[in-house]
Amino acid sequence: MTQRTLVLLKPDAVRRSLVGEIISRIERKAGWQITALELRSLGQETLEQHYGEHKGKPFYEPLVEFMSSGPVVALVVEGERVIEGVRALAGPTDPIAAAPGSIRGDFGTIVRENLIHASDSEESAERELKIFFPGLA
């Protein structure tokens, strides 16, 4: 099943020069392809759209502040079961709970600064891709 997913390398990944390392892990998966890639700073409106499901939660404001603290790298990745696959490469949200070998397990620090976002379902992917790459066919 070929899918598309939205991946964000969060400001901590850019600041810590982990962009190449993380992208290599994605590229190493046979049959996956990066089809769009952009370094960009995220404004409040984009973040509110992207993380709207978390609005009102105690971690929402610090999350938005963190996500706007520096540029992110936004990518579209296409391939076989890529939605589930990139989530597996990333590991669980909390780096302490993430196994070594996963991106968050190897490099994550605190739960908020966990390096990578990846769409969690086909519905989320469709919604998020429209926010970040509206021109995509």
Q: Mapping DSSP to helix (H, G, I), strand (E, B) and coil, where does residue 93 land?
A: coil
List beta partners, residue 72: 40
Q: How far is the CB of 127 from ligand RTP (least distance, A)?
A: 12
Q: How far is the CB of 73 from ligand RTP (least distance, A)?
A: 14
- In which residue are the tokens 């590991």 written? 91
Q: How far is CA 120 from CA 7, 15, 17, 19, in A?
A: 10, 25, 25, 21
Name the residue nearer to ligand RTP (CB basis): 14 or 111. 111
Q: Which residues are part of a known binding site for ATP?
A: 10, 59, 87, 93, 104, 114
Name the residue nearer to ligand RTP (CB basis): 87 or 137. 87
For the question of residue 54 being annotated catalytic, the response is: no
Name the residue nearer to ligand RTP (CB basis): 3 or 114. 114
Residue 116's H or E segment, with its range, is strand 116-118
Residue 1 in tokens: 């099943």
**Footprint of ligand RTP (CB under 6 A):** 54, 59, 63, 93, 111-112, 114, 117-118, 120
Q: How far is the CB of 118 from ligand RTP (least distance, A)?
A: 5
Pairwise CA distance, residues 115 & 136, whole Å: 25
- In which residue are the tokens 């190493």 written? 28
Catalytic residue among 74, 117, 118, 119: 117
Q: Which residues are part of a known binding site?
A: 10, 59, 87, 93, 104, 114
Residue positions annotated with a catalytic role: 117
